[in-house]
């Protein structure tokens, strides 16, 4: 503290001005970061809402599908059965 008193008043004033400028810059940066965090939080909340809505739509679509035991359900993984064409009763060719 004695060092501050022994320095010239103009030097104390310059050091104080520099400290005030640093504090102002830091305060501005903190404000920008606070606003960015607030915006990120709002964006996250919106995205969570969109995800929830999409999950509800998917669940609604899935609830409308027929049950597995329902004969109308298509088995997309089974092997395809060739159609039985009555008009084509010729033997297969071997060429």
What are the extents of the domains in the chain?
18-61
Q: How far is CA 67 from CA 28, 81, 95, in A?
A: 60, 23, 46
Please tell me the least confidently modeled range out of 27-36, 43-52, 76-85: 76-85
Signed CA dihedral, 8, 10, 16, 19: sign only: negative
Q: Flag whether pLDDT at 33 surpasses 90.
A: yes
Q: Work out the mean pLDDT of the chain and round it to a whole number.
A: 80
Residues in contact with 72: Cβ distance below 8 Å, sequence separation at least 6, in sequence order: 66
pLDDT value of position 7: 53
Residue 48 corresponds to which tokens in the numbers above? 């969570």
Distance, CA of 61 to CA of 59 (rounded, Å): 5
Q: Is the full-model pTM beyond 0.85?
A: no
């Amino acid at each position: 503290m004695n060092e501050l008193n022994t320095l010239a008043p103009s030097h104390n004033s310059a050091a104080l001005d520099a400290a005030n400028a640093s504090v102002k810059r830091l305060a501005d940066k903190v404000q920008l970061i606070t606003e960015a965090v607030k915006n990120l939080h709002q964006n996250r909340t919106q995205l969570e809402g969109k995800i929830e809505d999409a999950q509800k739509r998917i669940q609604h679509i899935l609830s409308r599908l027929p049950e597995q035991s329902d004969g109308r359900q298509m088995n997309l993984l089974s092997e395809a059965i060739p159609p039985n064409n009555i008009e084509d009763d010729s033997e297969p060719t071997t060429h």
